[in-house]
Amino acid sequence: MPDPTATFDDFENLRVEVRDHVAHVTLDQPEQRNAMSPEMGAEIQSLVPRLNAAPDLRVVVFRGAGKAFSAGGNLDRLEEDALSGNSGEKKGQGIGGGRSFYSMFLSIRDLAMPTIAAINGHAIGAGFCFALGADLRVVHEKALLGMTFVRLGIHPGMAATWNLPRLVGPAAAADLLFTGRLVGAEEALRLGIAARIAGDDFDAVVDEMAEQIATAAPVAVRAVKQTLRGTYERSIDEAIGIEADEQARTFTTRDALEGIRAIKEKRSPSFENR
């Protein structure tokens, strides 16, 4: 596969590296603990269609540079907005930046391939919300996660009240949202926020998960992502119908034939994304 990293070298707030069908996207403002800004959000939003257009890309991993995943909103900008009485909606900045600010970061939900938030350090407030926008989360054993909005005197944003209840249930979500308390990796795993947790082997665990997805049949994996996305809006009969349609469609792919032959021949499959 040609190395497409040269096409992703024009960002100031992100670093993007592609290897072995996996894009590794790093929030790259470590001196600010990767606090979220309109500039960073704009770069993420512009990156999404470019990743979708990469023909051989199968997984996207997001992480933070330095010790934090993301500290959330920029406190200096939030203080400026609070002093001026400006929610940031018109300026499109800060956690109070409203729909335009949220949509930039949550555009990662528009990625066609599975996404992993590699939470290498603390993910706080909007930073936690951004991580919830990914399909899966791996949490470092020393990381803390928290919906700390009410601790700042503001209402949660960035789909916090939509994503979190669907992930952990309404009671656990209310606990985290009402109190703004921080949770560690073990509790995140127990609640279902984290798919896996890791310590010194964090990078290896993230890479293993990405590899397991990347070596599965891409057409089928992308179809599963879309099916899962509508789970809460469908009845079981509707789900069965969609599954039947997608299974029939994927049965016609070359990858399905390869997968069946690989099992019969007792070897690992080599999928071609077609």
* Short-list 82, 18, 72, 4, CA closest to 40: 72
The structure's pTM equals: 0.91
Residue 82, pLDDT score: 53
- Average pLDDT value for residue range 167-189: 98
Per-residue confidence (pLDDT) for residue 113, from 0 to 100:
97
Taking Cα atoms as reference points, which of 199, 196, 179 lies closest to residue 188? 196
Q: Domains in the chain: how many in total?
A: 2
* Average pLDDT score over residue span 20-27: 97
pLDDT tier at 93, thresholds 50, 70, 90 = very low
What is the average pLDDT across 140-153? 96
Is 65 in the same domain as 42? yes
Q: Are residues 245 and 257 in the same domain?
A: yes
pLDDT band at 2 (very low <50, low <70, confident <90, very high): very low
pLDDT digits (tens, 9 = 90+) for 35-90: 999 999 999 999 999 999 998 999 999 999 999 999 987 666 655 555 555 554 44
CA 131 to CA 122: how far, in whole Å? 11
Based on the fold, state whether residues 27 and 161 are members of the same structural domain: yes
Q: Specify if 272 maps to a domain.
A: no
Confidence of residue 4 (pLDDT cuts 50, 70, 90): very low
Domain-embedded: residue 271: no
Asked whether residue 198 is assigned to any structural domain, the reply reads: yes
Percent of the chain residues past pLDDT 90, beyond the cut: 81
Q: Work out the average pLDDT over 137-160.
A: 96
Q: Which residues contact 204 (CB under 8 A, 6 or more apart)?
A: 198
| 176 and 255 housed in the same domain | no
Listed residue (144, 219, 157, 231) closest to 188, CA to CA: 144
Cα–Cα distance measured from residue 20 to residue 61, given in angstroms and rounded to the nearest whole number: 12
Shared domain check, 255 and 151: no
- What integer pLDDT is reported at residue 94 of this predicted model? 44
Buried b (16+ CB within 10 A) or exposed e, 35-69: bbbbebbbbbbebbeebeebeebbbbbbbbbbebb
Residues 148 and 233 in one domain: no
CATH code: domain of residue 239: 1.10.12
Q: Are residues 244 and 137 part of one domain?
A: no
Give the full edge-to-edge strand order of the sheet including 136-140: 14-19, 22-27, 59-64, 115-119, 136-140, 196-198
Q: Which residues contact 18 (CB under 8 A, 6 or more apart)?
A: 3, 4, 5, 8, 24, 54, 57
pLDDT the model gives residue 98: 74
pLDDT at 16 over 50: yes
With both helix axes pointing from N to C terminus, report the angle between 254-264 and 236-251 in degrees, rounded to the nearest 10: 80
- Could you tell me the pLDDT band of residue 1, with boundaries at 50, 70 and 90? very low
- Is residue 172 domain-shared with residue 238, that is, in the same domain? no
Neighbouring-strand partners of residue 19 = 22
Are residues 244 and 187 part of one domain? no
Q: Are residues 205 and 225 in the same domain?
A: no
Backbone angles phi, psi at 61, to 5 degrees: -115, 130
Structural domain harbouring 223: 218-264
- Tokens encoding 87: 């929610």
Assess if residue 250 is contained within a domain. Answer: yes
The residue among 100 and 66 whose pLDDT is bigger is 66
